[in-house]
Every structure is written in structure tokens, then in C-alpha cells.
Amino acid sequence: MVAEGKGAPDFSLSGIDEQGNEKSYSLKDFKGKNLVLYFYPKDSTPGCTQEACDFRDNMARILKGAAVVGVSPDSIASHKNFREKQSIPYPLLSDPDRKTALAYGAYGEKTMYGKKSMGIIRSTFLIDAKGVVKKAWTGVKVAGHVDEVIEAIGK
């Protein structure tokens, strides 16, 4: 698990940029600006769609202080389709081997409907301009989460 006040793990992932083009990203690409890095389980599922759209609908407020990037194990083709359907205006990165999610503590055992399984734990990290984790949320509940993130960006 990534701790607040500690350096964020670097990553190198391919994904879809704001225009729908395939591109590779690393943490270094965001040096000098705050980054909201959020991990979600699966494209086009109800909770993940709501979360992505909440970030989308609040981009004007978020961009005043940070960039946004979503990460899931889905393929680049899935991300492209999801981005197009939902008009997602920020990069969606593919972490098929879940190594980046694991490095951030966003992959592990979780319980859904009383059943334990391994999977992506919905998590968000606010990383400052120097690459330090300013705030970490794990086991995120979608409703109201974006407002919490925006409040933390402003501090």
C-alpha cells in the first residue's frame, strides 16, 4: 500500500489519450503538476462508468489543480470504446498484468456480495508535482468521491 507523504511508484503503461490515440505514459510525464491517478475494476460497468463520468463532468474544477488518469486491467481496445461511448476527456491506461495496481495497493483480496476474490480495489491517489502521494483513498465509494478529490486538490 502506498503511504501518504511517500513517493509514488513509477509506472509505464500504454493507454488511450484524450483524443483516443494510443500512447505510453509514465509518472514522469506528470512531473511539475498534481496528478489524480485512479484505479477502477472494469470499463463499461455501472460503478466504473459513474466514476469515470463524475471525473469527466467535473474536469473544469479538477484541471485548475491537477491532471486525471484512469487505470484498469482492460485492454486498450476496451478503453478506446469506453472513452468514445462516455466522452472521457482524460487518459485511460491499461494495466493487464496488474503490476501497477499492485504497486499502489489497488489490487488484492476484496469481498463482493459476501464472496472473497482477488481484483482491483477501487482506489484514488493524489500525487503532487514532486511525485509524492498527497492523499490516498482505498475502497472508494463512487458517490461523492470526486468532491473529496477536488477538496484535497485545493489544500
| Residues catalogued as catalytic | 48
User: How far apart, in Å, do the first and last CA atoms of the chain sit?
Assistant: 23
DSSP state of 73: S
Q: Would you state the cell numbers that stand for residue 46, as one nine-digit string? A: 455501472
Q: How far is it, in rounded angstroms, from Cα 96 to Cα 55?
A: 22
Name the residue among 29, 35, 25, 18 with its Cα closest to residue 79: 18
